[in-house]
Structure 1
Amino acid sequence: MTTVDVNDLETAMTLTDAGTGAEAWVCRDTGAVLIRSDEVGEPAGPVPADVDDGDRYVPVPSARDLHLGQALVFDFVRAEIPSEYDAVREIFRRPGAYGRYSRLLDGLGLRDRWHQYRDERTRAALNAWCDDNGFTLAGLPA
């Protein structure tokens, strides 16, 4: 199996989710993560012209594709602070929700626990995505 670096894959997913128009792929042959972005340049050099060839390159999934957006927030709330579920649901009904959610977590002293939960779930989802696509994810903590 081809190896993909977890940090490179996380970075690519973050960039593609940032709304900047960035695109990213993983090369099936090398495991290299390729990024096309006007905002940050192309760290691994120019993206090959045949990047749309699904036999050679796999598009990097978005957080939404991996159910890591609001669904993850609500999973955390149900598991860690179920008494705040209705308040968080209300927070996410209006724009600027993540800022208000962060302030709520700060007030409850749970920001670090949220980050740990989010990071663990993100890496687990990326690991599963790699398995599904014939890659091995490298760089995961032991």
Structure 2
Amino acid sequence: MRVKFGDILQAFEFADISGIVECRTFVCRQTGKIYYQFDQDDLQELEDDELPDDIEDETKYLQIPNSRDLDLGKPLVIAFVREFLPNDLDDVRYIFSKRGAYQKFKGLLSQRGAIDAWHDYRNKARERALRDWCEIQAIEITDRPAIHLKATTCARRLRRDLAPIVIQRADGAMLSGAKFPWVPSDRPTSSPNKSFHVAPRSHRRSPVDG
């Protein structure tokens, strides 16, 4: 089957949604068409294409993995920290033993001026893992790499169609970035300088329980 990598990436990112909204994504083994299966009817109704009745048939439809399936969660964070912030490795391991780990990790990256380095590392790892998965599943990719895209179609689509409904479902509460960690922030990021500063251990703040 032939599929655009951008479509696979978008489906992967939707499969990574967690919290208030759950989504599973599938690719048709014969046509390469992508399908989205939401756990809420009002979100499912936003889809242009009706979900096939036999979507659970693994001989016809292949479920697209999420970050956990491809070991792109905590293992990727630890690999990044080991390479770029080795002095913070013990602290990060402690952070990820508690709740709210990604939000605290984001705070640490901001302190170290390493947000851009992390995003670049994560995006490249995602693309490699997804392309390897496609190769294993005999999916032929038809377009160019997507590593350097500033914002994915998925993020634009989420903000346009899903965010108002999700916020309403949360009874008006503002959702934190931790719910949708893959959505690019509208805030300016740190300097793109690759040589970021690592503060001495004596100047660091101790992790707090989440």
Q: TM-score, normalised by structure 1?
A: 0.89
CA distance in 2, matches of 1:58, 1:119: 23
Q: Structure 1 regions of 5+ residues with no counterpart?
A: none
Partner of 2:17: 18
Q: Which structure: greater helix fraction?
A: 1
Deviation at 1:141, TM superposition (A): 4.4
- Displacement of 1:28 in angstroms is 1.2
In the other structure, the counterpart of 1:32 is: 33
Q: Percent identity?
A: 32
Alpha-carbon shift at residue 11 of structure 1 (Å): 2.4
CA distance in 2 between partners of 1:81 and 1:44 (Å):
45
Could you give the per-residue CA deviations for residues 86-141 of structure 1, whole angstroms, max 9, x where no partner exists?
01111111111101101111111110110011011001111011011110233414
More deviation, 124-133/36-45: 36-45
Check whether the contact 1:27–1:57 (CA below 8 A) recurs between aligned residues: yes
Query: Following TM superposition, by how much is the alpha carbon of 1:36 offset from its aligned partner in structure 2, in angstroms?
Result: 1.2
Whole-angstrom distance in 2 between the partners of 1:23 and 1:105? 30
Residue identity matched to 1:4: V
Instruction: Return the alpha-carbon distance in structure 2 between the equivalents of residues 111 and 55 of structure 1.
Output: 41
What is the correspondence of 1:1-142 to structure 2 with a 5 Å cutoff? 2-19=1-18, 20-37=21-38, 38=40, 40-41=43-44, 43-137=47-141, 138-141=143-146
Would you say the 8 A contact 2:25–2:37 is kept in 1? Answer: yes
Structure 1 residues 116 and 89: alpha-carbon distance in aligned structure 2, compared to 1, 3 A threshold: same
Q: Residue 26 of structure 1 aligns to which amino acid in structure 2? A: V
- Is the 1:27–1:33 contact (alpha carbons within 8 Å) kept by the matching residues of 2? yes
Q: Secondary structure at the match of 1:35?
A: strand
- 8 Å contact 1:35–1:44 — kept in the other structure? no
Q: Tell me the TM-score normalised to structure 2 length.
A: 0.62
Q: Give the aligned length.
A: 141
Given that 2:106 and 2:115 are in contact with CA atoms closer than 8 Å, whether structure 1 keeps it comes out as yes
- Which has the higher Rg, Structure 1 or Structure 2? 2
